[in-house]
Amino acid sequence: MTQSTTLLADHLAAELARDDGPAGRKSGLPLHRRLAETLRRAIADGRLAAGARLPSSRELAQDLGVSRNTVVAALEQLAAEGYVRGRVGSGTFVAEPPAGLSAAKPRAPAIRWAGLSQRGQRLARTRNAQHLELQPFTPGPADFSAFPLALWQRLQNKHWRGARPEMLDYTTSGGYGPLRRAVADHLRIARGVRLEPEQVIITSGTQQSLELCARLLADEGDTVWIEDPAYWGAVKALDACGLRLHPLPVDAHGWAPPAQPAPAPRLIYVTPSHQYPTGAVMPLARRRALLAEAARHRAWVLEDDYDSEFRFDAPPIAALAGLDLDGRVCYLGTFSKLLYPGLKLGYLVAPRALVDDFRQAHYDLNRPGQLPLQAALAEFIELGHLASALRRARQVYAARRAQLLQALQPLLAQPGVALNGAAQGLHLCLQLPSCVDDAAIAERLATEGITVRPLSAYCLTRGDLRGLLIGYGYAQPALIEPCARRLAEVVQQALPSGR
C-alpha cells in the first residue's frame, strides 16, 4: 500500500470516528452514506485531486474495519453523482471536472460573503439559532418529553383518514375554522384579548407572523422601535424586511418610552409579558404609555406575548392587546412552548379592519396549509388536553425554577450580581457587573456541557449590560444543582472580587 493510500485511509477513519462532524454518527446517516459524504468533501475541497486513484474497495474495507459492501455502496453513490469513475482493470479514480471548470480549492472564509447582499451579510453574521441544543440551562427550549405522543398520533391519524379533498389544499381562510375559534376562546379567557375568531390567522410560528406584519404594515426603510436588548429572531425578521431598527433601552420595567427625540416609528416591537432576554414584566402604566406613543405616531404595535403562560407568583398579566382601544396591536403567539417546537404552528391576531388583507397576503406569500394537523390540534384543545398540559407544565417548571433559585442564592451575595425575570417564563437573567466578560464565561461553561447565553450578545447598541441567560425549561432536576454549582464557581472566578 502506498503512503498516500495509507494517509487517505487514516483521514477517512478519523473523520468517521468523529461524533460531532458533518459525517458523524449523530447525523443518523447509515455508514455507507457517511463514508460517501467524507469522500465527497475530500474531493470538493481538493484533498483528492482530479485523476487520483482511490484504494480498492477491499483495501478500504480492511483499513477502515467495515464491510466491503459498505465501501462498494459508497463508491457507487459517488460514481452516480459524477465524483468518481471506474476503469475496468485499473480501479476507481477521482473524475475530471467538466470542461472550463477547475477542481475546487480551499478558500479563505471571507470569500463566502462575496455573493451575499449587505442585508444577507448582516443576517448571516448576527446571532443565530445554533444555541437551541437541548443541554442544561439552554435558554429557550421547553421540556416536551412528557408530551402525550400516543394521543397526539391518534388524533392526527383520525383527521388524516377523514380528510376531505379541500383539507389537502391551500387555505385562504386564515386557517382551520375550529382551531381559530379555539385560539380566540383561549385568548379571551387567559390573556384578556378582545377579538373575534375571524381575526385569528394560523401561521407557522412567531417568525412568520412577524414577517407578515412587517411586510403588510411597513415599507422598506421605515423605522421600527425595538427593545434593546432584543430577541434575535425579531431582529432578523425585521431586518430581512428592510426596516430600519431604532433600539430603545429596556429597564427593570421592560421597554421604556424614548427619553430623547427619536425618529417616528411605523412599527413598535415589544415583549411586554416577559421581556426577552431580561425577563422584565411591563407594568400597566408603561403599557398605557406605549399605546399612547403608538397612537401619537399612528404606528402599529407588534406584541410578542413570549412566555406569557408561565407566571409563578401571581396570575398572568393581561395582554397589551386587551388594553388596545384603537385596533393598533397585532398579537403574536405560538404553541411551541406548550406542545413541542417542531409542531410549527402559531397564530396572529390581525387588526379587525385589515383581516381580509392579512388573509390574502398570507395566502399569496406563504401558501398556508396543514389543515389536517390544524384539525388535530383543534380537537386536542377542545378535549381539554391543552389546558391539562399547561397545568402540568406550570407545576414542573415551578419546581425546577425553585430548585435553580435555591442553588444560585450564594452567588447573589456578590456585589453587582442579581437575578431578573424570575417571576415568569422559562429562563432567568443573571445580571453581572458591567466589567465582566459574560461571553467568556459562556464559552468556558460550554466546554463543560453547560449552555448559557451572554446577555451582551442580545444588545443592539448598549454596552452597559452584562449577564447570563439561564434556562430551566429543559433542565432535568438531577442536573440543576451540580450545574448551578459549577456555574456559580465559574462566575465567581470572573468577578472582580474573585480574581
pLDDT tens string for the chain (499 positions)?
Answer: 555 556 666 667 766 665 444 444 444 567 888 888 888 888 877 778 888 888 888 888 888 888 888 888 888 888 877 788 887 777 888 887 654 444 444 444 444 545 778 777 777 765 544 444 455 566 655 666 667 888 888 998 988 888 788 788 778 888 999 999 999 999 998 888 999 999 999 999 999 999 999 999 999 999 999 999 999 899 999 999 999 999 999 999 998 888 888 999 999 999 998 899 998 989 999 999 999 999 999 999 999 988 777 777 777 778 999 999 999 999 999 988 777 777 889 999 999 999 999 999 999 999 888 889 999 999 999 999 988 888 888 888 888 889 999 999 989 888 999 988 877 778 889 999 999 999 999 999 988 888 899 999 999 999 899 999 998 887 788 888 998 999 999 999 999 875 4
Beta strands at 91-94 and 200-203: parallel, antiparallel or unpaired: unpaired
Label residue 223 left, alpha or beta by phi (over 0 means left) and psi (-120 to 50 means alpha).
beta
List alpha helices for 133-205, DSSP H.
Answer: 149-161, 177-191
Q: Are 160 and 143 in contact (CB under 8 A)?
A: no
**357 sits in which H/E element:** helix 355-366
Q: What is the pLDDT of residue 58?
A: 87
Q: What is the pLDDT of residue 236?
A: 92
Q: Are 238 and 227 in contact (CB under 8 A)?
A: no
Q: What is the pLDDT of residue 261?
A: 86
What is the C-alpha to C-alpha distance for residues 120 and 366, in angstroms, rounded to an integer?
A: 21
HSE of 473, CA atoms in CB hemisphere, 13 A:
27
What domains, with CATH codes, occur in the chain?
Answer: 3-94 (1.10.10.10), 131-140+388-498 (3.90.1150.10), 149-385 (3.40.640.10)
Q: Which three cell numbers stand for residue 261?
A: 427625540
| Residue (of 449, 412, 369) closest to 136 by Cα position | 449
pTM comes to 0.73
Query: Residue 33: phi, psi to the nearest 5?
Result: -70, -40
* 429, β-bridge pairs: 420, 469
3-class SS of residue 112: helix
Q: Are 35 and 77 in contact (CB under 8 A)?
A: no
Q: What is the pLDDT of residue 110?
A: 47
Q: Are 152 and 376 in contact (CB under 8 A)?
A: yes
What is the C-alpha to C-alpha distance for residues 96 and 440, in angstroms, rounded to an integer?
A: 46
What is the C-alpha to C-alpha distance for residues 6 and 93, in angstroms, rounded to an integer?
A: 16
* 246, β-bridge pairs: 225
Q: Using CB atoms within 10 Å of the CB of residue 82, give its burial: 0 to 12 exposed, 13 to 18 middle, 19+ buried.
A: exposed
DSSP 26: G
3-class SS of residue 467: strand
Residue 187's contacts (CB-CB under 8 Å, 6 or more residues apart) are 193, 195, 319, 331, 333, 349
3-class SS of residue 380: helix
* 149, β-bridge pairs: none
